[in-house]
A and B are shown apart, each in its own frame.
Chain A
Amino acid sequence: MIVEVVALDRSVWTGTARQVRVRTTEGDIGILPGHEAVAGILKPGGFAVDPVDGARIEGTIDAGFVFMDNNRVTIVADNVELTGSAAA
C-alpha cells in the first residue's frame, strides 16, 4: 500500500509500506495493506511506518489525522518530526 506522510509545509515521506501504526484519539491502530477505509483523528504522539524495503520509519506528530482508502494511507499533521535513523 502507498503511504504518504504530509506536514503543513512539506511532504515528509512517500513510499510503499507493509504496515502503519498510528495513535488515534480512540487508541493505537495498525493498518495493513487492504485495510478497510478508515478516517481518524490523531493524538499528538508517535507513528511508525514499515516500508516494504528499508528500515522502519518512526516519527512524532502534533495533532493531525489519518486517512486510508483504496490502499492508500495519508497521515496529515501540522508538524511532523522524524526520529531515529530516518531523521538523518
Chain B
Amino acid sequence: MGAQIRVYRNKISSTKSMKKIFKAMEMIATSRINKSRQKVAAARPYANALTRAVSQVATQHNVSHVLTTRTDDVRRSAVVIMTSDRGLAGSYSSNVLKEAESLMELLREQGKDVKVYLVGRKAQAYFDFRRRPFERNWTGDTDNAKAELARELREVLVGDLETPYEDGGVDEIHVVYTVFRSMVVQEPRVLRLLPLEVVDANALTDEVAREYEDIEESGHNFEFEPNPEEFLDAVLPRYIDARLYSCLANAATSELAARQRAMKSAGDNADELIKKYTRLMNNARQAEITTELTEIVSGAEAL
C-alpha cells in the first residue's frame, strides 16, 4: 500500500517543480513585456512622420516608383509569416499560422503563386513537418524586435519585388503578424506591405489621419531637394523598415503577452493538480492506516 503514497508524492513533487518553472517563465515574460511595449510606442513617432511624408508626397506627385506601382496582374505574391521561436506561448504561433494558411489559400484561389518567408522557429517547424517549401527563414530574437532584422527583411523583399516575374520575382508582399492590442487581446493580422498602401487608416493615429485630410484638400506643391524620385528613393526604404519594425515589435510583444498568459494558467493548473494529488495521497494514507488497524485488531482477536 505504501507504493501508492509514493506515487502520489512523486507526482506532487514533480508538479511543484514544474510550477516553479511556469512561475519563472511568467515572471520573465511579464518583465519583458513592458520593455517591448515601450519599443512599440517609441517607434511610433518615427513611423508616423514617415507615413505622413510618404503619403503626402506620393499622393501629390505622380511619381512612379517601383515600390508604389500597383500591378493589376499579380502573378506571384510573397507572404511573410511572423511566429515565435519557442513554444509555451499558448496558441500564439498557431493563430498566426492559421491566418497565414487562409491567406495563402485565398491567394492560390486567385491564381497566384505564393512564395513564403518565415520568421521564427515555430513557423519553420510547421513547414518542415508538412514538407512544404519556403524561401527563407529567420530565427532568433522573435521576442525582442531588432531594427537590423527589419532592414534585412526589407532588402530581401524589395529585391524580390524588383526582380521580374520570370526570374522568380514577386508582384506583392503580405505580412502576417500579431497586433498587440492589450495584455489580453492580440489579433493575428494580414498587412499588404508592398506595393505600398500609403494610407492605412489603422496605422495612422487619428491626429495624423485628420491632418492627412486637411492636406489633401489644400494640395501643396512640394519643393524637392534634389528631386521627387530621389526623395522617394531615400524615404520609401525607411518607411518600409519602420512598418516592418513595427510588425516585429508588435509580434514580439504579443508573443510575450501570450506566453505570460499561458504560463499563468499553467501555474494555476499546477496548483489544482497539487491540491488534487495531496487529497488522493491523504486518502491513500488513511486507507493504509485503516488497513493496518484492522489487521492489528483482527490479529489481537485471533489470539
Contacts and interface: CB of A to CB of B under 8 A. Distances in A.
Interface string A31-43: 0000011111100
Contact of B234 (A36, A41, A69): A41
Contacts, number: 80
A8 B224 CA distance: 23
A36 B215 CA distance: 13
A79 B221 CA distance: 29
B218 A70 contact: yes
A87 to B, nearest CB: 19
Nearest to A40: B225
A67 to B, nearest CB: 4
B235 A65 contact: yes
Interface in B4-44: 39, 42-43
A76 B220 contact: no
B45 A40 contact: no
Interface residues of A, number: 25
B53 A70 contact: no
Interface string A44-88: 000000000000000000010101011000101010000000000
A11 B43 CA distance: 9
How would you classify the secondary structure of chain B's contact residues: helix, strand, loop or mixed?
helix
A70 B213 CA distance: 12
Nearest to A10: B42
Nearest to B223: A38
A25 B221 contact: no
Given A39-B53, A39-B231, A40-B225, A70 B147 contact: no
Contacts of B200: none
B45 A11 contact: yes
Q: Max chain B CB contacts within 10 Å: which of A10, A36, A39, A69? A: A39
Interface string A16-30: 000000001110010
Contact of A69 (B43, B56, B228): B56
Contacts of B42: 9-10
14 contacts: A4-B49, A26-B225, A39-B222, A39-B224, A40-B231, A41-B230, A41-B231, A63-B234, A65-B235, A67-B53, A69-B215, A69-B220, A70-B215, A78-B238
Interface of A: 4, 6-11, 24-26, 29, 36-41, 63, 65, 67, 69-70, 74, 76, 78
Closest 8 CB pairs of A and B: A40-B225, A37-B220, A11-B45, A24-B225, A67-B53, A37-B222, A38-B223, A26-B225
